[in-house]
Structure 1
Amino acid sequence: MNYLKYLILCLIFSGCNSPKQKLQAVNFDQIENNQDSILITAVGDIMIGSTYPSPLHLPPNDGINSFKAVQNYLKGDIVFGNLEGTFLNDDTPPKCNDSISKNCYAFRMPEHYGKIIKNAGFNVLSIANNHINDFKSLGRKRTTKVLDSLNIHYAGLINKPYKSFTIKNKKFAFLAFAPNANTLSIHNLNEAKRLVDSLKKENHIVLVSFHGGGEGTDFEHVTRAPEIYINENRGNVYAFSHAVIDAGADLVLGHGPHVTRAVEVYKNKFIAYSLGNFCTYGKFNISGPSGIAPILNIYINEKGDFMSAKVISTAQSKSEGLTIDSLNNAFYKIKNLTDADFKGHQLDFSKVGYIKLK
């Protein structure tokens, strides 16, 4: 049917949309209920209480209610987060020493806290970050043993760079990168591309996470350049994300800056540049922008292409812990930063709490 005939029929029967409008229309309920779509729920940093430097940094009720307010939203084929610390009962000396301990951040979650995270719904975690080294080799060893015992998939250490698994008859590979010792390096783009390319040949979907970028409200924007924080190169997260997608990655999830950042769709693949502080108890700055973060329900198709995303905004406070934010601050933060950092982007934020292609 040519366009003129289409317009005539529309005038006769009224209420028709133009072909262009029909192509753009997105039914979010239809996507969410599509049995062939893959739902990946993603959040940022998780550290639900530390015995270092004292038990004063443990949450009320032994952390059992850490995720209570958001439990209904942590659903999906994959539920992902960044484990910002270690699981360790041992009193091993941390990376800190007495002279710097006041301003040193080391996180030692009791090992039974792993079950709280498991019961919340998480089945894939990144351990590629600076805090996996907080209690040296024993901390890394005990953390991986706890995750293995709970059947939680994880990746990011040099000796555990990736993990492959099957969900809904689809083979997935998950990789995690960081600029820190003992982790898969965010700086070596050639090696990252080689590894992603190799895994894409053996798996349907390749998921990549990175811990990168500067920290705090001075680093809300994606700069497209190496980010230096306290004399450390935290990586060029824009170049890294594009490089791994060029090599075959289907989704890139960022964390590390402790604030929410922009999102992007590149070659039909979704990138979240920072998911912020999600559930972080104790010695964390959760004031202002550092205290808001999204839960992203990301829908991709069987080819790994982006379909749509739902943004559930959350907030943290010292008195109430993690809660749902009815003001949708994380959603608006993502929208405004995406508009600022990726001018001319092809994402539509017109429905509050949702992201789709224009």
Structure 2
Amino acid sequence: MKTSQFTLLSLLIFPALMSCLGNNVVAEHASVVQDSLPKKTIKDTISITAVGDIMLGSAYPNKLGLPPDDAVNSFQQVQDDLHGDVIFGNLEGCFLNQGKSTKCSDTSGNSCFAFRMPERYAGIYKAAGFNLLSIANNHVGDFGAAGRKKTTAILDSLQINYAGLTSHPFAFFEKDSVKYAFCAFAPNENTVSINKIDSAKALVARLKSQADIVIVSFHGGGEGAKFEHVPRRNEIFYKENRGNVYAFAHAVIDAGADVVLGQGPHVTRAVEVYKNKFIAYSLGNFCTYGMFSLKGSNGFAPLLQLKINAKGDFLYADVISVKQDRINRLTKDENATAFKKMAALTDADFPGHGLRFENGQILLKSDLDKVPVQ
């Protein structure tokens, strides 16, 4: 008898069983029916492409902060590399056509940073392939509730998944029969707090019970070249507690997270594999225009192409190094600066890490001979 016929017959005879045999026997019969159903299987290899901060140009305090091509070519040099099941980035700012900043005055000049991308720029993210964005950061609230509300409404309309606000702490989405859960954290007002680790663990555990793969993003740590290393303590920057990113990343993996993706320092940081799960501690400035500093380390970043298995365990990653400057904007870096920096910082911050950095790839040393170099 086919499974579908058996299941239908079972449904028809359940009432009789209830009256004649009692609840215990019915429960046993239901278990047999369930066991006869096909088990869910998901793909062997899942591809997650991840980048750091993205802000394509701000019209505040005036339109001089917008790129000359109106941002349409922002991702042109890396478009072929933005592919995978999940394409992730950190949305550093809000989508809003007009309005005054709740953080900066119109006369603040260069001492205050408020990012308001024109609403039409959201379509550029969609066209580039991004299907997952973190909005947990220190710029999503630059224009108050109006900016947050408009941003979430636009992302909803474009069917781009997002999370990170207290009003939108997590998201579920499905791709090729894999159910993903995503949550994002930051130390900023109206975002889900990176500093409440117990609450973060509880949320991740709940999401893991309902999804195959859980991706966690955080915006934390000090900013700039002085903060390239991962300290195992709270990072205080401008008198603000930017979190203990090491403790946070390990805690959410303990709770069930499969991938942890960090931003915030505006520079590349180390990576780690903890309990077979991948952590990127900072993916740097990926595509930023206007008032972002691109000097030194701030001008280089990785484009991470991560591969995990059906259990969420790390397989390997390809790293494409990119760079930015005021004239050429986002381009590939033939010197692989971000990749080399990531390797050196991982050696320094996590001695005995068990990873190998070679030819633009991150491999487990134990699996070196199993993964073809591309």
| TM-score in terms of structure 1 length | 0.89
Q: From 231, 237, 249, give the equivalent of 1:241.
A: 249
Secondary structure at the residue paired with 2:69? helix
Equivalent of 1:84 in 92, 97, 101: 92
CA distance in 1: counterparts of 2:109 and 2:165, whole angstroms: 26
Q: For 2:156 and 2:212, how far apart are their aligned partners in 1? A: 24
Percent sequence identity over aligned pairs: 61
Q: Does 1:133 align with 2:141?
A: yes
Q: In the alignment, is the contact (CA less than 8 A) between 1:226 and 1:235 conserved in 2?
A: yes
Question: What is the CA–CA distance in structure 2 between the aligned matches of 1:353 and 1:165, rounded to whole Å?
Answer: 30
Aligned residue runs from structure 1 range 184-195, under 5 A? 184-195=192-203
The one-character-per-residue Cα deviations of 1:276-303 (angstroms, maximum 9, x if unpaired) are 0000000000111000000000000000
Alignment of 1:139-150 (within 5 A): 139-150=147-158
User: Counterparts in 2 of 1:269-288, with a 5 A limit?
Assistant: 269-288=277-296
| 1:288-303 alignment runs, 5 A limit | 288-303=296-311
| Structure 2 residue corresponding to 1:354, chosen from 347, 361, 367 | 361
Asked whether 1:67 is paired with 2:67, we answer no
Select the structure with the greater relative contact order (CA < 8 A; seq sep ≥ 6): 1
Matching of residue 97 in structure 1 with residue 108 in structure 2: no
Query: Which residue among 155, 158, 161 is the counterpart of 2:163?
Result: 155
Q: Secondary structure at the match of 2:181?
A: strand
Which has the higher mean CA deviation after the structures are superposed, 202-211 or 99-108? Answer: 99-108
Answer whether contact 2:260 2:279 (CA < 8 A) is retained: yes
Letter in 1 for 2:296: G
What is the letter of the counterpart of residue 302 of structure 2?
Answer: P
**Residue type at the aligned position of 1:354:** Q
Following superposition, the deviation at residue 60 of structure 1 comes to 1.5
1:309/1:355 contact within 8 Å kept = yes
2:205 is aligned to 197
Unmatched tracts of structure 2, length 5 or more: 1-41, 366-374
Contact 2:61 2:106 in 1 (8 A): no
Aligned to 2:201, the other structure's residue is in SS state helix
**Segment of structure 1 superposing worse, 86-95 or 227-236:** 86-95
Partner residue, 1:118: 126
SS in 2 for 1:133: coil
Residue in structure 2 matching 1:222, options 220, 230, 250: 230
Q: Report the structure number with the largest CA radius of gyration.
A: 2
Question: Partner letter of residue 352 of structure 1?
Answer: N
What is the CA deviation profile of residues 29-55 of structure 1, one whole-angstrom value per residue up to 9, with x for unaligned ones?
xxxxx9620000000000000001110
Letter in 2 for 1:271: I
Cα distance in 1, alignment partners of residues 158 and 262 from structure 2: 24
Residues 57 and 73 of structure 1, relative CA distance in 2, 3 Å threshold? same
Deviations 1:3-50 (A, max 9, x none): xxxxxxxxxxxxxxxxxxxxxxxxxxxxxxx96200000000000000
Amino acid at match of 2:272: E
User: What code does the residue aligned with 1:196 have?
Assistant: V
